[in-house]
Structure 1
Amino acid sequence: MASHRRPKQPNRTRVTVLTTAAAAAVALSTHAANAAPSHKPDKDEVKAKVDKLYEEAEQATEKYNGAKEKQQRLQKEISAIQDGVARGQQELNKLRDGLGSLAGAQYRSGGIDPSVQLFLSSDPDDFLDKASTLDQLSGRQIAALKKVQGKQRELAQERAEATGKLRDLATTRTELGDRKQEVQGKLTEAQELLNTLTLKEKSALAAEQQRASRSSAERVRLGNGSSASGRAAAAFSFAQSQLGKPYFRGATGPSSYDCSGLTSWAYAQAGVHIPRTSEEQANIGTRLTRSQLQVGDLVFFFDDLHHVGLYAGNGQILHAPRTGTVVRYESMDTIGGPFMFGVRV
């Protein structure tokens, strides 16, 4: 006999969950069907991104160079102060030995005078205050004590200065590490992008750079501009002798260079010392507009002045561009950032 029991109604909550899940599945499948395949950047897009990363790496490199220069300067200053403190301590010890001899002589002649007992106090300032009431000090004793007093103050100041510079050095070393890590991160990211290119695309990019470099070199040859001065001409000539040498962050030659490393090296060979970093180099000499530039003048690019080269004439510069390149000629209009000003040293 057939059962007449009513079929069990599905649970309302369960129906809602199943309906929602089904709708989501349909939506996902529809999205997957309509989604465009992932875009692989072409060589021009990769080049633009890599150039931007190299620019950021060069910014960090110049800050790294500045921190490194500061570290070296602080280390020299601290060493000089510490040497001075050591010599001053020796002088102070001799002065104190002289006071001890005076006390010994008085003791052997019948006891130490109260004034001399104060004289040997560890606090000369306190002694002078008290000694003024004794009226028993000779001019020689007062002069000797004042020397001790002055030397102690001098040493205290020098030790405080050294302590401050040591703190500054610790901060600078931390900054140095941070900048180095930042540079390496940018370069690693750029290399990963370059690795996405095919061999044919890499060859095409290299060929483009070589054509641009040859074109700039030809424009320099045809320009035949005059130099700003004898030392500017000499600096430019020395820089020309480094054409083809690789860029390397923090390098100052003679086997590799970064941008400010090349300019500082070239001028040093001409007998002119200029600061190490592009930012510091921008603050020397006479500033120039583009129309005033002559061969050998320093030329600065980007708002923060993180790139520098030597003017080569006819709108071209000689510089160490960035990682992956060599010292070469290049048009001022293809640097990647605006020309800010020139400097005549």
Structure 2
Amino acid sequence: MNDEEMTESEEVRLMAVPITDSFAQAAAEVLREYREMVEKSLAQAEGDKDALVLVEIANMVGTPKVGVARGSLYGMLLEIAGMSWDTALDHVKALEHDIVRKPAPVWSPLVLTRAVLESCLFSDYLYDPSISGSLRLARCAGLWRKDTDHSANLARVLEQDEEIAEADDYVTKALADCGIEARRSASGKITGYIVDSEVSNLDFNITERARSRLPEWLPMPYGLLSGAAHGRPWMTDRARTMSKDKDGLVGEAATVMTAIMIVMASLEMCLRDLQGYFGYKLDAALAELLEYRRVNFLRLIGLAHAAEQSETPDASV
């Protein structure tokens, strides 16, 4: 077991009851309405003239010799962080449909939620308003290098050695033009980057970042999602034990509720980042989302348990 997964002793469910049609329909509707509220709040948001992003760009452009190059890297940072946000929303929409499919889903809601969380954490890593502009650039440099390494691994499989060298030379030159220094291990391997004395690794630990950035009321979110995504028996056996004939798998309301909780927390995390970084006025929207979440969590829990008494669960797979 790797460090992304929960141990068997951790709590893995909220409600040990099967998914029913009425619960699934209500849960999907709640998630859809919540996502639309998030999108509406951003569509109506206006940036502040003193926003952190504008201050950092102004400081960067004014940096002697490397200002233009850093401005270009900063543009890439904004593009990929925004792309991660769009990717997160795409997976939320997929989850809305997955919840109501027939037969009822078993572990796919948690796997889709893992994709939402990872995309949101990627965006959060770059938009985090609590860090300096120099550290933000160092993080972007590390992620760019890491992605280049991943692309190089694919190119090797395809025997495209020339493209590997070209990509490596391009990234190396672009970062040098920015005045960004590579941090190396004793063996000479690049382990991160330094920008104006600010140091960042090539990548971030998703498990640790999820633990530190998401609210405490979530039950070790990334580890739980990874247990489902990796198909580990300690996690997946729950679906079999719920099946009366022991031959199929039965989806639990707990998985849907957990998926919705983590998605909502992830989107709210990103909204707070956008508020702090772009100066968006989102206090009212965040308060509205909080109230919506509280009311509907209670409603969905009630629906799940009420349905347990009155409905037959969806067919197992």
The TM-score bracket by the shorter chain reads: under 0.3
Alignment TM-score, normalising by the size of structure 1: 0.22
**Larger RCO, structures 1/2 (Cα 8 Å, 6+ apart):** 2
TM-score, normalisation: structure 2: 0.23
